[in-house]
Structure 1
Amino acid sequence: MVQGKEEGTIEQFPAWLNQELFREYLERDFPDLKTVKSFRLETTGGNGENYTTLLLRAKFELELKDGSQQSTSYMAKVLPNNGNRENVISWQVFEKERTTYGQYVPEFEQMYRDAGKKITFGAHYYEPKEPLKEEEVIVLEDLGRRGFRNVNRHIGLDIQHAEAVLEKLAHFHAASAVRFQLKGAYPAVYNRNLCSKQDDFKEFRHNQIKAFVEALPLYEASDLAQSVESFGRQAEDMFQQYAPQIDGEFRVLNHGDAWCNNFMFQYDKSTGKISEIYFVDLQMSRFCSPAQDLLYFILSSTQLDIKIAKFDHFIKYYHDKLTENLKLLKYPKQLPSLRGLHQSIFTYGDWILPIITVLLPIVLVDGSDDANMDSMMDSEGSGEKFRNNLFKNPRIIRNQKEILPWAHRRGAFEVPK
């Protein structure tokens, strides 16, 4: 029997997402399975936590052949039941994530094992024997069962958590760069974060920049209005843009959506220290400079008092870990220099505006009924209300006061001549 959460309804869940879908995974995990006693679907997170997909927890009570009882659960990622459903299909994010989890993550982990180092990048991915033909679903291990959890996105990551993320990104990036040299190019789907056939976000970007410019006085940055408006008018959608082909550029498979909710932490029970960190949401990976992940992560997800003050420290820390792992994996080309990495971060400075006008406000906004993709795309009504919440809450005001002068000094809003 399928049940929803007390506050939910059965109708919010796809009818095909039933216990039979999980049968092959249960039989793999429990070879002595006798029967499924109960099955329950639950939504995860809350308002403002998921925008592009619907993430559900499938909970089971089992009876084994020896008569004992066992509880287990899986995470299932499916298409959203909203107006953004067709967009998500066009982005090819499920295709990309299946390939990353099913092929590249195991390859990268094996590369480290071959080099004498145990690295795990994320939850166990359950690859189906026969994928569904007309529906999209990705089934993963429920990391909550092993004590993994997120850090509060409103507070952000302290220096220890931030360095743990940067080290894990360095592991992932290094393996992806070595694999590229050994086996050649990644599929074309990895040339962009979102693989839309057309740009459906022009009106959204216009509305977002307009609301952001109107809020600049709150950030004590009224003098930037003309620059931001001009830059925003000509800027491409970074999420749909093809990765530039720059001669000699060091490139990696970026996580692509590297903000705090997409990293889960496990802690040592005796010391309370971080014992492991796993990625989630590998649906927006792009093969380009690691500058994308670095700007995206540091500006969106670190605590305010270290976001700018420790920015260069974070880049140096990441570079040290990157080169260490490239050496371990026997990267066949010249190692990327720290100076080159900083130059690449300037080159990819176009990412700063979408990060601080789209991603960062979403990270810092309170959960509410209108904190969803439909509201984001709405040009009026709930959209106006949501944008007001995005740009005028005290957390974003404090962050923008810190980030905007730094971004301006770096030429982040200069329109190319």
Structure 2
Amino acid sequence: MDHRTKKYEWINKIYICRLLNIDLMDIINYEIKPAIGKGNNYASTLLRVEVELKNNMKNKFLIKCLPEGVMETLIQDSGLWSKEMYMYNKVLPLIEKCINCKLGPKCLNNKSFAIDDDDDDCDNENFIYNNNKEIVIEDLSDDYKMADRREQLDFDHCVIVMKTLAKFHAGSVAVKKINKKYIDLVGEELLFRQTRRESNEQYLKQPFICLGNELNKNNNNKNNELKHYSKNLKKFCEKLWDLGIFATKSKEFNVLNHGDLWTNNILFKYNDITGDVEEAKFIDFQCCRYATPALDLQYFFMSSVKEEVRETKLQELVDIYINCLNKELINLGQKQLSEKQLDKDLMITDFYGLYAAVSVLPLSIRDPEGVIDEEDITDWKAEDNTFLKCIKGKKYRQLLPNILMYFDKKGLFEDNYDIIDKFGIDDIENNIVI
């Protein structure tokens, strides 16, 4: 057993038998090991269990466990963990059933949680072993691979993501009509939530403040030409909370957003002969929200897409997305999304693209040796905290100038930038929930 898995001794033969519904004597041997490298997933611990069975049979699956320490408390208290349990056990299968397409791995430890029922068991959390601290999913690694987060995704990969995301979104619209209570449950906004303003607003601001301070330094920084953006970033983060509250309010067209759509939460399947990317599956559904699909698009574009694709092919990707989405919606007998509405929502959510570029991108493309410290990532007072190390990374510093200029041209750093004033009155007064 790997030394990093010793604390998971509850994963034993009895556990495996219960999970796979087999006899104890059927198991010849089993091995537990980390499914991904250290530092590639700080919101959970992902283990791979490989089981050797009688008659030369084999089985393997993944166990996603709550991390320990500060991150466990943070994730439990925020509602992220229970949200993901319901997604894997209830909502994702319903979405897949509506569109007749698999979008993610199957959940394996849902023995007492029926999928097609019409009951009111949304508050039943007794379907997970080990006190609800783990989720077991099928291991797709034989057919699906994770792309290199540092290289980011080229156009062909992005096209597949757009088509898969459109199906996920369209299916959620249908599920909302059929089983409203499930979308309401997993679609609850957890980040931009007034009852958590004190803690969440500070969490949102800190990356902007940290980057702003770093750009303001004069220690032979090659990015000194960006020094004037230091004040811009600090000013902008003061608007971030209100922009987020406005953008996540129900708009004319809403879907269940994945909420954390970046490279490491997407698995790709490739053609055995040509090597071309053919399919994608999504994982990690902790951050789902019911809101405009523009939020998912902004987050993905700024966290995971190659610079040249983002600068030259972004509109083409948006067109592919909306065409696929509306095709699926027509098949499902649901209202379509107009290009005008999506363009408007993308403008409203530009702030979220900047948030992803400042807060998520540095972590996603950090240097290979830049392992994330689960305790340190929330310690903004540390002189050299994890995030600071990431924004000092060579690749991020290469991308940063064009990113800041991109949002500067969009007017986000202007003193009179106020998307709420531009769109807010009508949207707030005519708050239509689809």
Specify the TM-score bucket, using the shorter chain as the normaliser.
0.7 to 0.9
SS class of match (2:241): coil
Contact 2:367 2:394 in 1 (8 A): no
* Partner of residue 136, structure 2: 139
- 1:255 partner letter: H
Contact 1:47 1:367 in 2 (8 A): no
Equivalent of 2:95, from 80, 89, 108? 108
Deviation for aligned residue 1:202: 5.1
Change (3 A) 1:261 1:370: closer
* Partner of residue 259, structure 2: 256
SS class of match (1:38): strand
2:188 counterpart of 1:191 = yes
SS class of match (1:58): strand
Q: How do residues 132-171 of structure 1 correspond to structure 2 at under 5 angstroms? A: 132=129, 134-144=131-141, 146-171=142-167
Equivalent of 1:176, from 167, 172, 189? 172
**Could you report, residue by residue, the CA deviation over 1:140-179 in whole angstroms, capped at 9, with x for unpaired residues?**
01111x2211110101111000010010000010111122
Change (3 A) 1:17 1:80: same
2:334 counterpart of 1:346 = no
TM-score, scaled to structure 1: 0.86
Deviation for aligned residue 1:9: 4.1
- 1:386 partner letter: T
Contact 2:189 2:289 in 1 (8 A): yes
Change (3 A) 1:135 1:328: closer
* Partner of residue 116, structure 1: none
Deviation for aligned residue 1:41: 1.5
SS class of match (2:146): coil
SS class of match (2:62): strand
- 2:306 partner letter: Q
Contact 1:47 1:369 in 2 (8 A): no
Contact 1:253 1:288 in 2 (8 A): yes
2:23 counterpart of 1:23 = no
* Partner of residue 14, structure 1: 8
**Could you report, residue by residue, the CA deviation over 1:307-335 in whole angstroms, capped at 9, with x for unpaired residues?**
2222222111111111111111111x3x2
Equivalent of 1:316, from 310, 319, 333? 319
- 2:165 partner letter: L
Q: Distance in 2 between matches of 1:200 and 1:16?
A: 34
Change (3 A) 1:48 1:201: farther
- 1:230 partner letter: K
2:273 counterpart of 1:282 = no
Q: Distance in 2 between matches of 1:219 and 1:349?
A: 25
- 1:166 partner letter: M
SS class of match (2:287): coil
> Which consecutive unaligned segments of at least 5 residues does structure 2 have?
113-126, 216-220, 422-434
- 1:172 partner letter: F
Contact 2:40 2:371 in 1 (8 A): no
- 2:283 partner letter: V
Equivalent of 1:93, from 74, 80, 87? 80
* Partner of residue 363, structure 2: 362
Change (3 A) 1:319 1:10: closer
- 1:257 partner letter: D
SS class of match (1:379): coil
- 1:173 partner letter: H
Deviation for aligned residue 1:346: 1.0
Contact 1:48 1:368 in 2 (8 A): no
**Could you report, residue by residue, the CA deviation over 1:253-293 in whole angstroms, capped at 9, with x for unpaired residues?**
01111001111011121222223211111121111000111
Contact 1:258 1:296 in 2 (8 A): yes
Change (3 A) 1:76 1:242: farther
Deviation for aligned residue 1:99: 1.6
SS class of match (1:73): strand
Deviates more, 1:360-369 or 1:298-307: 360-369
Contact 1:150 1:263 in 2 (8 A): yes
2:64 counterpart of 1:74 = no
Change (3 A) 1:219 1:176: farther
Percent of aligned pairs with the same amino acid: 24
Contact 1:50 1:372 in 2 (8 A): no
- 1:306 partner letter: V
Contact 2:188 2:290 in 1 (8 A): yes
> Which consecutive unaligned segments of at least 5 residues does structure 1 have?
114-118
**Could you report, residue by residue, the CA deviation over 1:176-224 in whole angstroms, capped at 9, with x for unpaired residues?**
1122234435224422145986443555545422321134372733232
SS class of match (1:236): helix
SS class of match (2:129): coil
Contact 1:192 1:243 in 2 (8 A): no
Q: How do residues 366-377 of structure 1 correspond to structure 2 at under 5 angstroms? A: 366-368=367-369, 370-377=371-378
Paired residues, number: 393
* Partner of residue 35, structure 1: 26
Deviates more, 1:179-188 or 1:316-325: 179-188
Change (3 A) 1:19 1:238: farther
- 1:120 partner letter: K
- 1:57 partner letter: R
- 1:394 partner letter: K
Change (3 A) 1:219 1:352: farther
* Partner of residue 292, structure 1: 295
* Partner of residue 240, structure 2: 235
Contact 1:291 1:345 in 2 (8 A): yes
Change (3 A) 1:342 1:396: same
* Partner of residue 244, structure 1: 248
Q: Distance in 2 between matches of 1:346 and 1:255?
A: 20
Deviation for aligned residue 1:336: 1.4
Deviation for aligned residue 1:132: 3.0
Contact 2:266 2:280 in 1 (8 A): yes
SS class of match (1:48): coil
Contact 1:147 1:266 in 2 (8 A): yes
* Partner of residue 120, structure 1: 102
* Partner of residue 405, structure 2: 405
* Partner of residue 47, structure 2: 56
Change (3 A) 1:142 1:337: same
